[in-house]
Amino acid sequence: MNSTQRTSQDTGLLEALGAESSSTRLQAALAVGTDPDPGFVEPLMARCAIEPDFYVRDMLTWALTRHSPEITVPRLRAELDSTCAQGRSQALHTLSKVQDPSVWPAITRSLLHDADDEVARSAWRAAVVLVPEGEVNELAANLVTQLGRGDRNVHLSLSRALVALGDAIEPALRTALASNDPTVRAHARATQRLLGDPDAGFDPSIGEAKRSVALGPERVQGAAC
């Protein structure tokens, strides 16, 4: 393929990434990832920040991971400071796939506590993948402060992130179990149950935890006799 043909093809792909049809955008992202070219990293990043379709966003992430980390990682780290919440969230999601250990310092407390739930969820997932062994306890203590936040999906994401850290979360969970907030206590208890039995399922665990919190420790003990 000569340079003129390549330029024409690239122009077509760039236009397709912004097409009205989600299937067209999906195919364009697939094509870019199949034949990675550094010139597409910036357009892929820009599209990640505004793409409304989940499946297209996932393909955009895949396409970025197909490019050299030496090119993508600095750009992804820069996006973590974006004022666009979706841009931050997608950058975190992509970094969790790239799994470059040098990124860990960029997963800040600010991101873990981001006011946007999707950003925070992406930060939790990235953090448990990238955290160095010596900082697991600190991360667990940090994540536990978010117990009780948001809706069911947010609760589930946080519980999964905590359980992925293993037994290191137990001291922090014990603190949360003594919280004055019943929602925090129920979420902590459900997470503790999942840690002991990952196959228990989240909804049954949270339901059981809420019943336990509502009954109180003494009535739960009596009910078990």
Task: Name the pLDDT band for 27 (thresholds 50, 70, 90).
Answer: very high
Instruction: Average the pLDDT over each of 66-80, 101-115, 183-197 and give the range with the smallest value.
Output: 183-197
Instruction: Average the pLDDT over each of 56-65, 83-92, 124-133, 198-207 and give the range with the smallest value.
Output: 198-207
Instruction: Report pTM.
Output: 0.85
Q: Give the integer Cα–Cα distance in Å for 167 and 191.
A: 11
Q: Which amino acid is at 149?
A: R
Residues 81-94 have pLDDT tens digits of 999 999 999 999 99
pLDDT of residue 215 exceeding 70: no
pLDDT of residue 19 exceeding 50: yes
Residues 138-154 have pLDDT tens digits of 999 999 999 999 999 99
- pLDDT at site 90: 98
Q: Give the integer Cα–Cα distance in Å for 139 and 109.
A: 9
In the chain, domain spans = 136-225
